[in-house]
């Protein structure tokens, strides 16, 4: 190999573009957006937990009915449990997002997607539990006290909102599983 060929080979090597792993740009963009959403969700859920806890404490001082106290107590315990589990997963994901491996390691992306799938699955299960408890609360309330048409409408609207949220969680869970499946291929 003469000097001219060596220079051509060297310039060819230096001019070649650095190839990224497949779908890496999409994953980096997805995780950047996810980082912002994770932080916002922690703040929103913390505010919601504080509000429900305040309502629970207030229910003792305002002499609410036992059924309402049980409902607010359930919502408080349910929300706190869900918040702790979700926050643990979110903080783990944020730690992975800050790591330098994210731009090079497919395994780091897998961990993030698995954390996301865990959160969506937890949301699905928690929403089913909440819908069940909400139904029991509604039936119990109507059984022991009279229900007005306005309360029935509020109950139906709440149930529809919970059903839409459930459909959203299921769709997001499936999307995350497809992304994980694509990464593992």
pLDDT digits (tens, 9 = 90+) for 73-84: 999 999 999 999
Measure the CA–CA gap between 25 and 31, rounded to whole angstroms. Answer: 10
Tens of pLDDT, residue by residue over 25-36, are 776 777 777 778
Q: Are 60 and 69 in contact (CB under 8 A)?
A: yes
Mark out the alpha helices in the chain (DSSP H runs). Answer: 3-15, 24-61, 66-98, 106-144, 149-184
DSSP, collapsed to helix, strand or coil, labels residue 159 as helix
Angle of helix 66-98 relative to helix 24-61, nearest 10 degrees? 150
pLDDT of residue 126: 95
Q: Is the pLDDT of residue 19 over 80?
A: no
Q: What is the pLDDT of residue 36?
A: 84
Greater confidence (124 vs 10) lies with 124
Give domain limits for the chain: 23-99+106-184
* CA distances, 164 to each of 92, 123, 158, 169, 173 (Å): 28, 13, 10, 9, 14
């Amino acid at each position: 190999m003469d000097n001219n060929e060596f220079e051509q080979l060297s310039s060819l090597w230096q001019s070649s573009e650095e190839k990224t792993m497949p779908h890496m740009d999409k994953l980096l963009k997805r995780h950047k957006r996810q980082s912002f959403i994770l932080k916002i969700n922690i703040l929103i859920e913390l505010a919601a937990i504080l509000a429900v806890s305040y309502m629970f404490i207030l229910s003792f001082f305002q002499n609410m009915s036992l059924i309402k106290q049980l409902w607010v107590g359930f919502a408080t315990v349910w929300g706190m449990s869900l918040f702790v589990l979700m926050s643990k997963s979110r903080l783990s994901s944020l730690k992975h997002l800050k790591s330098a491996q994210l731009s090079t390691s497919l395994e780091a992306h897998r961990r993030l997607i698995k954390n996301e799938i865990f959160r969506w699955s937890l949301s699905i299960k928690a929403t089913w539990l909440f819908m069940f408890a909400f139904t029991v609360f509604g039936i119990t309330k109507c059984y022991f006290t009279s229900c007005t048409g306005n309360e029935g409408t509020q109950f139906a609207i709440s149930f529809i909102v919970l059903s839409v949220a459930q459909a959203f969680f299921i769709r997001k869970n499936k999307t995350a599983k497809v992304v994980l499946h694509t990464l593992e291929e």
